[in-house]
């Protein structure tokens, strides 16, 4: 495959690997399980350790199977480099561990994946200031920025209420102020949206979700898009300034987060994720079409009090989603009318499975306040706009009619 020709998203993922020879002509990158890598010449071992020539040292810092996946994700995001982690949280945690110091300040969206919210609480207990703002309007982000703000962190479409961040304007603001803009692209995936297009410096993906797509492997990644000038970042140690500035950020993340904290992706998981990623575009086409059909059905039903899906004209950020994303995502949430028991409703569904996780091929459904957002308490839930009856749906690839039927039948019992 020629490096020069511009191929589409799926062709690139399928054939991009073959730009370099794969062992024995294997079509999949083999699963390398060796923890250590031996060198016939001891001087070569030393020069790999000193970063003077490429090569693998020890499995915690990477191996050939992981590198192949890193290249694949990097191509999807059109980045300058990507590092994989054991989980999506491992990737987000790496931002805190590698890039922030006591006294630094972060502006984060208040509409966040629950565990990321909890991670920021941990960072606060370790001396990092975090301001939570409604990031659907750039003015709120701007008002929260201080002289010590190092990072602005947002999700594209927030889980579970589907607020869409003011991605483009926040990108312009961060660029003007020289602040590192980190975007969690999990809900959109690089097929629907590339945060590089709005000046994000780092992109996080929970590979566990739609990119892996089959709910059979955990993984996460950080991609450097090349949009951020690391010379403006005060927290890069001298050690990691040896290479070109474009590589400073990832060099420090690989050493300070992956090597020192050890949240390394397992080679088996990397293989599962790489295979799943081959069909990302096909699956997203199906799940986003299913999600829109289901959102429209729920919005018309008198037993439903509210539906949150960026593809609906009634959604407050529908215009941002329509402008920036190829489709409006696979996640929606809704509230039943007062007095209707969400557990009874869930138990009447035959196809949709009560389970956590997102981006599986199967439709998964969960009562948010009673499960994933239980620990944070009613007050914080209310401040995040999470109603006690909110139900989140991660829409799968089932045949559309079957899926709609399942919800209709369950609603009829209400």
Ligand X SMILES: *Cc1c(COP(=O)(O)O)cnc(C)c1O
* Min separation Cβ 262 and ligand X, Å: 15
* 56-64, 182-190, 235-243, 248-256 -> range binding ligand X (CB under 6 A): 182-190
Q: Tell me which residues in 319-378 interact with ligand X (CB under 6 A).
A: 358
Binds ligand X (CB under 6 A): choice among 209, 256, 272, 283 = 209
CB of 120 closer than 8 Å to CB of 130: yes
* Min separation Cβ 360 and ligand X, Å: 11
Question: Given the complex with ligand X, which of 63 and 116 has the nearer CB atom?
Answer: 116
* Min separation Cβ 19 and ligand X, Å: 28
* Min separation Cβ 272 and ligand X, Å: 13
* 179-187, 229-237, 306-314, 404-412 -> range binding ligand X (CB under 6 A): 179-187
* 84-92, 103-111, 229-237, 254-262 -> range binding ligand X (CB under 6 A): 84-92
* Min separation Cβ 206 and ligand X, Å: 3
Q: Which residue has the tokens 């980190």?
A: 182
Question: Given the complex with ligand X, which of 186 and 194 has the nearer CB atom?
Answer: 186
CB of 360 closer than 8 Å to CB of 225: no
* Min separation Cβ 113 and ligand X, Å: 4
Question: Given the complex with ligand X, which of 269 and 410 has the nearer CB atom?
Answer: 269
Question: Given the complex with ligand X, which of 16 and 160 has the nearer CB atom?
Answer: 160
Residue nearest to ligand X (CB): 88
* Min separation Cβ 256 and ligand X, Å: 19
Binds ligand X (CB under 6 A): choice among 69, 76, 89, 203 = 89
Q: Per rule CB under 6 A, is residue 184 in the interface with ligand X?
A: yes
Q: Per rule CB under 6 A, is residue 218 in the interface with ligand X?
A: yes
* Min separation Cβ 285 and ligand X, Å: 20
What residue ranges bind ligand X (CB under 6 A)? 87-89, 113, 116, 155, 159, 184, 186-187, 206, 208-209, 218, 220, 358
């Amino acid at each position: 495959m020629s490096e020069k020709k511009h191929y589409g998203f799926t062709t690139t993922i399928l054939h991009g690997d073959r730009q370099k020879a794969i062992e024995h002509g294997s079509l999949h990158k083999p699963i390398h399980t060796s923890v250590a890598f031996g060198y016939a010449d001891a001087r070569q071992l030393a020069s790999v350790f000193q970063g003077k020539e490429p090569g693998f040292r020890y499995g915690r810092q990477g191996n050939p199977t992981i590198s192949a996946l890193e290249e694949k994700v990097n191509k999807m995001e059109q980045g300058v480099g990507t590092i994989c982690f054991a989980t999506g949280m491992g990737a987000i945690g790496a931002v805190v561990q590698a890039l922030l110091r006591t006294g630094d300040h972060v502006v984060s969206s208040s509409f966040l994946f629950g565990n990321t919210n909890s991670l920021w609480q941990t960072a606060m207990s370790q001396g990092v200031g975090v301001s939570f703002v409604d990031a659907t309007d750039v003015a709120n982000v701007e008002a929260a920025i201080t002289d010590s703000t190092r990072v602005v962190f947002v999700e594209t479409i927030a889980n579970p209420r589907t607020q869409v961040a003011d991605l483009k304007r926040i990108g312009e603001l961060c660029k003007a102020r020289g602040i590192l803009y980190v975007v969690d692209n999990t809900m959109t995936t690089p097929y629907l949206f590339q945060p590089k297009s709005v000046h994000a410096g780092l992109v996080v993906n929970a590979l566990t979700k739609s990119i892996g797509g089959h709910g059979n492997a955990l993984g996460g990644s950080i991609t450097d898009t090349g949009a951020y000038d690391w010379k403006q970042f005060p927290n890069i140690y001298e050690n990691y300034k040896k290479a070109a500035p474009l590589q400073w950020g990832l060099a420090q993340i690989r050493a300070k987060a992956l090597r020192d904290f050890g949240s390394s992706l397992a080679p088996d998981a990397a293989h599962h994720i790489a295979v799943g990623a081959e069909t990302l575009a096909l699956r997203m086409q199906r799940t986003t079409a299913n999600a829109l059909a289901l959102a429209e059905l729920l919005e018309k039903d008198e037993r439903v009090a509210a539906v949150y899906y960026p593809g609906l004209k009634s959604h407050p950020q529908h215009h941002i989603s329509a402008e920036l994303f190829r489709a409006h995502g696979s996640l929606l949430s809704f509230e039943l009318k007062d007095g209707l028991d969400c557990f009874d409703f869930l138990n009447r569904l035959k196809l949709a499975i009560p389970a956590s996780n997102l981006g599986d091929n199967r439709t998964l459904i969960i009562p948010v306040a009673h499960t994933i957002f239980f620990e944070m308490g009613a007050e914080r839930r209310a401040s995040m706009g999470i109603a006690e009856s909110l139900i989140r749906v991660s829409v799968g690839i089932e045949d559309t009619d079957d899926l709609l039927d399942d919800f209709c039948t369950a609603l009829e019992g209400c």
